[in-house]
Amino acid sequence: MRTMGLSLGLVLLCLLCTGAEDLGAVELDMSKIAGKWYITAMATDSESYLQKKDQLKMAMTSIEVLGDGDLNVSFAIPTPGQCMRLVSIYKPTGVLGQYYSSDRGYKTAQVVDTDGKTYAVVFATRVKDGKTLHALRLYSKTREVSPRMAVLFRKLARQRSFTNDMIVMLPTQDECSLDEV
């Protein structure tokens, strides 16, 4: 029940924050969010990411819904010369549908749009060195991004005040995955 509330709450929070009535709230069984995803696009206001955005590549993530409603999220992120693997536990914030993690700095995440099967758009914040950074990520069950999804992602990013210079469609890569241990 908590898992279903997660998605619905996240979508509703996004609608309130963006005023984007055309996004439409979707009731989602969180078991559909569970599993392996590719992070295929990103928009961010982080200067360090923007400085190296031409070097960024597609990352992978795995989401597991835990019995207590927490989310166990694993990432495989390609960086120059290595594959960085991270695991974080995201817990409900008390605001319906919003989750946080205090691993490696305070972070929040909320799903702002999804079809519950093939894609999810996640808005994340992170506090680093006293500054709040924002990112919008396109999660896909496949490595390919359809033209329709690219347009939708860019639209959602602009609704959140990201400029075209802050948006990047991430190229595929084979050197870093969750399957490698």
**Mean pLDDT, the chain, integer:** 82
Residue 13 has pLDDT above 50, yes or no: no
Asked whether the beta carbons of 86 and 75 are under 8 A apart, the reply is yes
Tell me the percentage of the chain whose pLDDT exceeds 90: 58
- pLDDT one-digit tens code per residue, 130-157: 899 999 999 999 999 999 999 999 999 9
pLDDT (average), residues 60-75: 92
pTM for the whole thing? Answer: 0.81
Give the Cα separation of 132 and 67 in Å (integer). Answer: 30
Distance set, CA 136 to CA 15, 20, 176 (Å): 14, 15, 21
**CATH, domain 2-169, list 3.40.50.300, 2.40.128.20, 1.10.287.3510, 3.30.420.40:** 2.40.128.20
pLDDT (average), residues 28-43: 85
pLDDT (average), residues 101-115: 88
pLDDT (average), residues 34-60: 94
The structural domains of the chain, with segments of one domain joined by +, span: 2-169
